[in-house]
Amino acid sequence: MNDQMLEAMFEKFGKVFQPNEILFCEYEPGNDFYLIKEGKVKITKTVGSSIKTLDVLEAGDILGEMAILEEQPRSATAIAVNEVKALNFNRANFEMLMTKNPALAMKLLNIFSVRIYDAKRRLMILLMDDIVGRVADVFLMLHEKNNSNDSFHEVILNTSVEDIANWCAQPVGEVQKVLNQYVKNGKLDLYPDKIIIHNINDFQRIVNQKRKPN
């Protein structure tokens, strides 16, 4: 979607959210979704007695679309980090967009496809009881997202301990302990902004051992 089209659509579908304003809450019914034009939106989810940050979305990202596709309550809460300008589509104008604008429809379908895969992949991680297995599965998921077919050599993940903890929905300190043990065993090198994995297959084997059979 080019800037001219985005501006024209913002006049009709645009909404502005102030910092810390909630776009939607977990568990509430949802009949619309948002395309971020400007700003950042934090996605949080209640896990046990804690609230975990799942992601921070930026311009060009879509959120809340699962309510349209699955007709289910919101699975997470969305909060504006700073001033956010977003296009807001309900079910009726979503269907209009899909039929009147094939290019936009294709873009949305591609985004939806990726989001559905990500949601299922995150659920697979969260369903694993063992934190060691969760951390290993996050490595595999991030490697998959890089679309790399090189499964036998060094893998560099541009991520941090905090990011891994968020994906795992585990305390940063506990995840740090797991990563330190992997470092001690020579399986990876840990840096503030990246993790170098020496053999991703080591972690595939860990996940296979930890994941419960269906």
Q: Which helix (H) or strand (E) holds 177?
A: helix 172-184
* pLDDT score, position 136: 95
Q: How far apart are CA 141 and CA 135, in angstroms?
A: 10
Tens digits of per-residue pLDDT, 28-64?
988 888 989 999 999 988 877 778 777 889 888 888 8
**Is 82 a residue whose pLDDT tops 70?**
yes
Q: What is the pLDDT of residue 127?
A: 84
Q: Closest Cα partner for 36 from 12, 66, 8, 16?
A: 16
Give the mean model confidence (pLDDT) for residues 67-74: 75
Compute the distance between CA of residue 104 and CA of residue 96 in angstroms, rounded to an integer. 11
Least confident of 10-24, 175-189, 199-213: 199-213
State the Cα–Cα distance between residues 165 and 126, nearest whole angstrom. Answer: 11
What the block records as the tokens of 49 is 């007695």
Q: What mean pLDDT, rounded, does the chain reach?
A: 85
Q: Does pTM surpass 0.85?
A: no
Predicted pLDDT at 38: 93
Q: pLDDT tier at 214 (50, 70, 90 boundaries)? A: low
pLDDT, tens digit, 9 for 90 and up, residues 143-192? 988 765 555 578 999 888 988 998 888 889 999 999 999 999 999 999 98
CA distances, 136 to each of 70, 169, 183 (Å): 30, 13, 13
Residue 105 or 90, more confident: 90
Q: Which residue has the higher pLDDT, 2 or 139?
A: 139
